[in-house]
Amino acid sequence: MRLILLAASLLFVSFIPIQRSTAADIVFKNGNVYTANDQTPKAQAIAVKADKIVFVGTNAAAQKFVGPNTRVVDLKGRTVLPGFTDAHQHLSGVGQREMTLNLEGTTSLEDLLAKVKARVDQAKPGAWVTGRGWIETHWQPPVFPTRSDLDKVSPNNPVILGRADGHGAVANSAALKLANVDKSTPNPFGGEISKDKQSGEPNGMLLDAAQGLVRRRVPPSTKEDDEREVVLGAKRDVELGWTQVQDAGGDYGDVDIFKKLYAAGTLKLRIYKAVYGPGPQANRLLTEGPIIGEFGNRLTVRSIKVVSDGALGSRGAALLGPYSDAPDTSGFLTVKAEDLRPMLIDALKKGIQVETHAIGDRANRFILDEYETALKAVPVSERKVAEPRWRVEHAQIVNPADIPRFAKLGIIPSMQPSHAIGDLFFAPSRLGIPRLNGSYAWESFIKSGVVVPGGSDAPVERGEPMIEFYAAVARKDQKGFSGDGWHPEEAVTREQALKMFTIWPAYAAFEDKLRGTIEVGKLADLTILSADIMTIPELEILKTRCVMTVINGEIVHEAS
């Protein structure tokens, strides 16, 4: 007995030190692995040690990474992709949608009013009712709700409900009264108070900056609410398979919340954060400099988000010509060139990325012109980051003459596939068929020589990776429908779609050496799915579920 024990302990002593050098923390075996690395696109097994990938290859070769303390995960043929990244999301907004009246999927005006009534019935007298997520596109008729619709279910409680796109909201009379908005209130810069054509009274719809007139009357959320939004938003993201979100706007208050939650270990999701500019938040980033890769490469703040126009649905997108279905308007720009110019110059000198929301063809041309002027004014020798990787968020309606300018200037169009399959129901009437050439033009952009990071823009859209992947490759609605002027040739291949949600957003965040593919030495972020979205019929992509999410080598979500 003693001899055996002695032999065992000798074995133990001599065995472990050797194993310790090669043994991985986790070995994933029997996987259907797509690496998004063109040199070795497929694999069976992955070994992970600490936060990094240490092996990618065959099951047999992975065996030498299995030590006594290695967790071996048998994937049973499931599909493994590099950790999905949402290149454009509003994380707090996603959480807020979970916490307030969530109007996603509202099927009609009556449905909307029923949901509002149920909430109003529970509200204290005079308390605000806020919500978000309605979209009238598929209602009969597809028209915006009005203050008088809301007054029927909420005569006393003030109500404001954001359209899914965030660029419009409907308020009831009680809310407009509290905000002193009436027929004589002028439109604020960058916004519009919709008025009844006959009476000239506000009809309840507030576009873009005009929403602020009412929203500033809503009691501010508490610090606990703000933290809870981030926690809930991140929880939903990780469960859906997102490993990083690129948070398109916000302020240092958000950054403080992220830091607190990371420090406490309650936040695992990676966040690449932008703050709004021009203005005090951007100035702070320009003065203090970026935050790069804190909390185990989870938190980076190095980008300024500019908003240059509104959205197409609410006719706030700035177009080069009038709207086809509203010839008296061509939308509006929401930033002044004289405010933008000094900030762009400063950003180049200090190595700060700029990402600008531009939806209409006029906004896209405007921002390309402004970027071009700044890039010419600050030569590479005077830039902190030679290749600034500035971005245009959405790049939705682009005059075909402007598409090649992105590649020429090194500008990245960051696009959201689900916008196309939602917007294409009303885009033909807003724009007319000819102007759809160059709209949601993913494949034209890729062919022009740029990368196209893909995002969801949640809570504007639902924020589900499978909806985005499907929209990118199918360019049809979720029932498989495609209409006139939808330009099916702008759909992308599955290999391109995979890059849109992995290596291309990593590139757009200066992280392409760090993550975005399944390669030895990169951070171990994996999205593991119930089906092979690279080969299954298009509509089955929508039924595919995330079964496991790995961030920094840690399994942060495992479906039961």
Binding site for Zn ion (CB under 5 A): 248, 457
- Nearest in space to 86 (alpha carbons), one of 480, 508, 474: 508
Minimum gap (Å) between residue 319 Cβ and Zn ion: 19
Nearer to Zn ion, 25 or 461 (CB): 461
Nearer to Zn ion, 248 or 286 (CB): 248
Minimum gap (Å) between residue 527 Cβ and Zn ion: 22
Minimum gap (Å) between residue 153 Cβ and Zn ion: 29
Residue nearest to Zn ion (CB): 457
- Identify the three-state secondary structure at position 75: coil
Nearer to Zn ion, 25 or 165 (CB): 165
CB proximity list for 118: less than 8 A, separation 6 or greater: none
> Rounded distance, CA 123 to CA 118, Å?
9
The burial class, CB within 10 Å (0-12 / 13-18 / 19+), for 491 is buried
Contacts 24+ apart (CB under 8 A), 215-220: 215/160, 215/169, 216/179, 217/158, 217/175, 217/178, 217/179, 218/128, 218/130, 218/160, 219/128
Minimum gap (Å) between residue 212 Cβ and Zn ion: 17
DSSP 70: P
Minimum gap (Å) between residue 88 Cβ and Zn ion: 6
The strand pairing partners of 86, in sequence order, are 245
Pairing of strands 299-307, 391-394: unpaired
Minimum gap (Å) between residue 405 Cβ and Zn ion: 22
Nearer to Zn ion, 423 or 457 (CB): 457
Nearer to Zn ion, 115 or 315 (CB): 315
Alpha carbons within 13 A on the beta-carbon side of 231: 12
Q: Rounded to whole angstroms, what are the CA distances from 482 to 276, 377, 378?
A: 36, 44, 45
Question: Vertex 236, ends 233 and 241: CA angle to 5°?
Answer: 125
Minimum gap (Å) between residue 326 Cβ and Zn ion: 23
8 Å CB contact between 187 and 193:
yes
Nearer to Zn ion, 227 or 461 (CB): 461
Contacts 24+ apart (CB under 8 A), 42-45: 43/518
Nearer to Zn ion, 89 or 157 (CB): 89
Minimum gap (Å) between residue 183 Cβ and Zn ion: 32
Nearer to Zn ion, 66 or 335 (CB): 335
Minimum gap (Å) between residue 315 Cβ and Zn ion: 18
> Rounded distance, CA 155 to CA 471, Å?
40
Nearer to Zn ion, 254 or 457 (CB): 457
Nearer to Zn ion, 115 or 391 (CB): 391
- Nearest in space to 534 (alpha carbons), one of 444, 480, 481, 469: 469
> Rounded distance, CA 336 to CA 308, Å?
8
For residue 280, the tally of other CB atoms under 10 A from its CB is: 12
Minimum gap (Å) between residue 18 Cβ and Zn ion: 52
- Nearest in space to 446 (alpha carbons), one of 486, 409, 490: 490
